[in-house]
Amino acid sequence: MPFTPDFGSVPDWVEAIGTAGALGFLSGQFIIDRRKDRAEAEAAAAAKRDDEARQARLVTVQLEWRYDPKGHPTNERLPGWLGDIQLINDSPLPIRAIEPFMEETIRTGPAARVHSQLSLRHWSRMGGDLSILRPGQQLALVIQPQLPPGEPGGSGEYAKDQPSPWSDPNRKHRTGVKYTDAAGIRWQHTPGGQPERLIEP
């Protein structure tokens, strides 16, 4: 007797197709729901970050560089490049623990970079207080970057015959101010840039 395969009845096929369709629909709906949940979570996180940065966006950092050939012995300052920082708090709340910083990235090869924090001498003008800057106040700071140990420059300051902090094409710098806002969040702020939240140990 010849073998005749049993492909089932029409109702069986309809039921199988319906089951497969339902599974496909549920899988598709699950993926859509996951994407929606992820988008909503990302939007909520972005809104939270935006709210946290509200005070920091009202703080302004300005910076100008100049070369001082004389230095200032009373400030333990030697001749070198100086940066004049102006910190302006236009927010309705104070900021605290103000600290200037300078990051250096040195290009040592086509794709090689070395990142480091430069040591800074810094002091405030006119007796400004780095512990707190109240609403509507300004703080004038002077910074003097120092070369990393082992590099030419004698005292460690950028000498006049050494590249200035911004002119060496193999050296890139980010200079600005770190501070803590009224909510206790630590920020890093560079001239003309947006405040960046810091996660510090």
**Range in 86-90, 135-139, 196-200 with the lowest mean pLDDT:** 196-200
Compute the distance between CA of residue 124 and CA of residue 84 in angstroms, rounded to an integer: 10
Torsion sign over Cα 46, 47, 52, 55: positive
Q: What is the pLDDT of residue 154?
A: 42
**What is the per-residue pLDDT across 160-192, written as a single tens digit (0 to 9) for each?**
555 566 666 777 778 999 999 999 999 999 998
Percent of the chain with pLDDT over 90: 27
Rounded to an integer, what distance in angstroms lies between the CA atom of residue 146 and that of residue 122?
11
| pLDDT value, residue 19 | 72
What is the pTM assigned to this prediction?
0.68
Share of residues in the chain with pLDDT > 70 (%): 63
Please compute the mean of the pLDDT values over residues 121-129 and round it to a whole number: 75
